[in-house]
Structure 1
């Protein structure tokens, strides 16, 4: 979700404000950290493993261990409190996705500031930089890349493929780095040690990686894979191995508010194994404590207290997905069947909130969503069976919802109004099917709808701020059912709700200080300000868990806004007191 223009919206649409607000920038997309591992809920024996290329990036509180079940992983050696950045490092290579090349600096990955413009490389005219300092610092890496991009663009059959994709550019930077440093360098050893599943690739994965291999050969201007020996690659099989390591060990590079902007490679962070119920997360918080030239900084932050000898686990995928979809995605992409605590949980007494519907008798209970194989489902509270007709309605709603989500997501940037119409129209179908707010794809569609409305708030008067706030509240409530306190996705959602509550709609007929019924949400006037302050304060507390002390850049912005709102409330309170005293 984009909050770039939230200050403008706040200034234009509020009825009364007493303290000037500062510009805010916040966006939301799920962070997806990537590595390869076999995941099991079973106990296993472990032994410490000393890896020379990983030692400098690991603090004394953790160590690499070899597990009889899960292979290599990172384990706690001592008690670690939640909200602790146990690992903090700069990835070996990071690149922007093609749509973001003109919006972010290709060196420090800071966004284009309002009123300023990024400096474009005058030769390739593709990469952009926020300053001459960043451009000069990146030149050693960009120099061979610049020539390759120019050749690629000149030979491109059309404008749609005139810029090589992020995978090609990332692998190119990685290979040039390995060429420069040699096979004995720690970086080279680290890359070679990453997991490859070339022999177990599915047909679609093999086809995709073959396409990448041909593109790399073209990009580096070699006539065959055999000419890649200077990059430490001696055969076509080794090239496919290299690409496989890249594919399954790549992290999504995100903004501080979890918007995906590119990809990163970090062999140390890639040692962390997977769980759909992780005890840690991978984030790129950015903060005033980090020098701009050192960015991006990847942090692994604990979500709960860890005991000694407990393995640190992150999730490679979006865990709002129900179990069957998570299992299929992990199998296809990472080649393992997950048996983590969430995937092996017994839902016979309480349905999975990711796949449930409200009881047809409206008893307050929930039923598991029927499947194509098992269409008979009952309310786990009153025992009411879902009719076959109702089961068909539910399955149709889930199928249509997924189709709408896929289509709307593809239109999100090119035609946001069309995307908004799609996700709005499907809500009636969900209501008829009694899907719960946290069920997939209902939650994903609600979040997308809210994101689109936020984006359009400042430019489209037809977008209702109060309706956007209500949708944001639904998202927060549903995410609380799925994520633990402090999870970055949940924390960002709460912060967004708080920010939205700082704005009053200009169409409201009552004064900004007017009282509103207790059952009205959102409230207006000072009640809205108080709710905003309460929400922002809660968000900051959770941001400090998910992003570490201070909550990163979003934590700083959230705390600042909370203090501004507190001042507005104090000014209003003093004003009312003065009026009463002067009567």
Structure 2
């Protein structure tokens, strides 16, 4: 009825690429008058204090031809506290679900494991969509480099300008034989595309000026952070045909100058800009498949309570573009804010990642609220154990042995020290399982199930429980989808996948803002699990039949009631997807509509069949 091939290789959308998880802000020091800042002007680290308003900003003036994809109702402004950002113009308002901008990234590349699984131009594959206009029948490798694949001759032609030099470089690497270092990572290949495009269009164009005006944090890096940048530089040079170890300094300098880098300083600033401003390349269903960079999208500032999301609703290339979608109504003068990381992470994890990757401390609305001793953060909470009570309770401090629920009045014992130890073990297991999910999915599944039982006191929205359930959902989907229908293990894996989906679905509501695309995608995933064919002899989840702890089991309906539940989820998903992806919800929204139509027909046939049986 519904295929899970599209879900088998799905990574969690929160996973970032080599250097950054989402688009990165480019804060710049405010000059006395609004002028274009010097490309290499260093700045000091800033604190992200929450959205700026036009009252404490100045209009950012830039060169002719730059940021041509910025719509007329938005403008770039500079704040003393936040640097550059994008704002709704005064006298203008924007409705939730509006596509604020559509941008073709300056460069993007698939990660190495995804080169065979996705079109290098549009990002789609044979499992991407049910919609006829977006269906892909097969992928064919480029006959030149034998590395990247395309879904059609149209996509290959569309990508040829960007792939021409890349094709030669990949072919040259393959010809090295035993000395071949392997396929360059997505960061190296994306940087190569930027360099070759600059060579083609010229270094004095608006296109390249946008790249030069992205924020470089090179002067703010500590010695430990310089080492991976140096390694990246060596890999890029080798990929571009420059081998400093085998060439004289003069020859190396000449080749770099030909590519637009008159000094090592220019090259390292370029690499730093990429590190700071690159973000996750995702498919229309939020599967992370590589890395992308867009100077315009990189101007959007961060908040852990975003009012917009960066998505690729219909892919890239000839099929679509990067889009920034308003998650709620935006008022006149309001700043556009996206999140650079997964907002389901607790404050400490978010602060650590933002400091390490982007060198700022976040003091947004959510980060500030989480310091309030009277507020219970659903990302770090325990649940009331009373049946029927859905209250979340504050995470107990070390030494606590008893907790009282203020909602139902029930008290229960808890070992706070032991719980913290289990949270640490769960976090470690999550990281290990994440690295094993493709190479050894059975072991990854075992690791997560083994720590799950000790995390049952946590609220479903708490970290790392929610992330563990998300990964387990995918691992169970992978397990059941490769088994024949007759295999009894298939039903067990399917039921466990559906149970995890239900738990994730419930947990997401507490940590993701309304309209967030992740919630819509999860609704469709759960609906597909309920629609998947299950044997008549399948048993309801129980401690005897499930891998999951007893108090995590969810009673899911069977038969036509199961299909009706799936239909309700698809209806909810359609609403969420129109907010999170804009218009008709992107390809995921189109698929949800097609699935709903087929499901309504199946339910009608089922009901008619039961009616005929009663008449007889």
TM-score, scaled relative to structure 1: 0.87
Change (3 A) 1:509 1:163: closer
Change (3 A) 1:528 1:69: same
Partner residue, 2:520: 491
Cα deviation, residue 507, structure 1? 4.5
The CA deviation string for residues 128-166 of structure 1, in whole angstroms up to 9 with x for no partner, is 22223333333333222222223333447677x411111
Change (3 A) 1:347 1:567: farther
Return the match for 2:472 from 432, 443, 449: 449
Partner of 1:279: 307
Partner of 2:547: none
Instruction: Compute the displacement of 1:205 (Å).
Output: 2.4
Deviates more, 1:131-140 or 1:66-75: 131-140
Residue 578 of structure 2 corresponds to which residue in structure 1?
544
Q: Which residue is 2:195 aligned to?
A: 175
Shift of 1:468: 1.8
1:15 alignment partner in structure 2:
none
Unaligned runs of 5+ in 1: 10-22, 511-518
The answer as to whether partners of 2:429 and 2:448 remain within 8 angstroms in 1 is: yes
Change (3 A) 1:260 1:364: closer
CA contact (8 A) 1:366 1:380 kept: no
Could you give the per-residue CA deviations for residues 68-115 of structure 1, whole angstroms, max 9, x where no partner exists? 211110001211011111111211111111111111122222214699
How far, CA to CA, are the matches of 1:134 and 1:228 in structure 2?
31
Residues in 1 aligned to 2:112 and 2:49: alpha-carbon distance in whole angstroms: 37
Unmatched 5+ residue regions in structure 2? 15-20, 28-45, 128-134, 245-251, 540-552
Per the alignment, do residues 117 and 364 of structure 1 end up closer, same or farther by CA in structure 2, a change over 3 Å counting?
closer
Partner SS, residue 7 of structure 1: coil
Give runs of aligned pairs for residues 394-433 of structure 1, distance below 5 A.
394-431=419-456
Q: CA deviation at 1:508?
A: 2.9
Assess if the C-alpha contact under 8 Å between 1:109 and 1:295 holds in 2.
Answer: no
Q: Decide whether the 8 Å contact of 2:105 with 2:292 is kept in 1.
A: yes
Could you tell me which residue of structure 2 aligns to residue 355 of structure 1? Answer: 380
1:514: which partner in 2? none
1:178-205: CA deviations, max 9, x gaps?
A: 1111121111100000000001113332
Indicate the residue corresponding to 1:527 in structure 2. Answer: 561
- Aligned with 1:443: secondary structure? helix
Residue 138 in structure 1 maps to residue 149 in structure 2: no
Q: What is the distance in 2 between the residues matched to 1:155 and 1:402?
A: 41
Distance 2:254 2:376 in 1: 55
Q: Which residue of 2 aligns with 1:56?
A: 68
Give the Å deviation of 1:523: 0.7
**What SS does the aligned partner of 2:519 have?**
helix
- Structure 2 length normalisation: TM-score? 0.83
Deviations 1:494-517 (A, max 9, x none): 11111111134205369xxxxxxx
Q: Secondary structure at the match of 1:50?
A: coil
Q: 1:366 to 1:557 in 2, by over 3 A?
A: closer
Asked if the contact 1:367/1:377 (under 8 Å) is kept, the reply is: no
Residue 149 (structure 1) aligned to one of 167, 170, 176: 170
Distance in 1 (CA, whole Å) between partners of 2:4 and 2:203 is 53
Q: 1:505 aligns with which of 530, 534, 542?
A: 534
- For 2:335 and 2:193, the matched residues in 1 are separated by 32
Q: How far 1:532 moved relative to its partner? A: 1.1
What's 1:119 paired with?
Answer: 140
Match of 2:601 among 561, 567, 578: 567
State the distance in 1 between where 2:177 and 2:395 align: 48
Structure 1 residue 471 corresponds to structure 2 residue 500 = yes
C-alpha contact 1:369 1:377 (8 A) present in aligned 2: no
- TM-superposed CA distance for 1:350, in Å, is 3.1
Alignment RMSD (CA, Å): 2.9
Match among 306, 315, 318 for residue 294 of structure 1: 318
8 Å contact 2:498–2:526 — kept in the other structure? Answer: yes
Look up the match of 2:550. Answer: none
Q: Does 1:268 align with 2:296?
A: yes
Q: How far 1:438 moved relative to its partner?
A: 1.1
Deviation at 1:230, TM superposition (A): 2.5
CA contact (8 A) 2:106 2:293 kept: yes
Contact 1:367 1:378 in 2 (8 A): no
2:264 aligned with 1:252, yes or no?
A: no
Residues 1:47 and 2:58 aligned together: yes
Equivalent-residue separation in structure 1 for 2:448 and 2:576 (angstroms): 29
- Residues 509 and 176 of structure 1: CA distance in aligned 2, closer, same or farther (over 3 Å): closer
Task: Name the CA shift for 1:477/1:177 in 2 (closer, same or farther; >3 Å).
Answer: same
Secondary structure of residue in 2 paired with 1:342:
helix
Paired residues in the alignment total 548
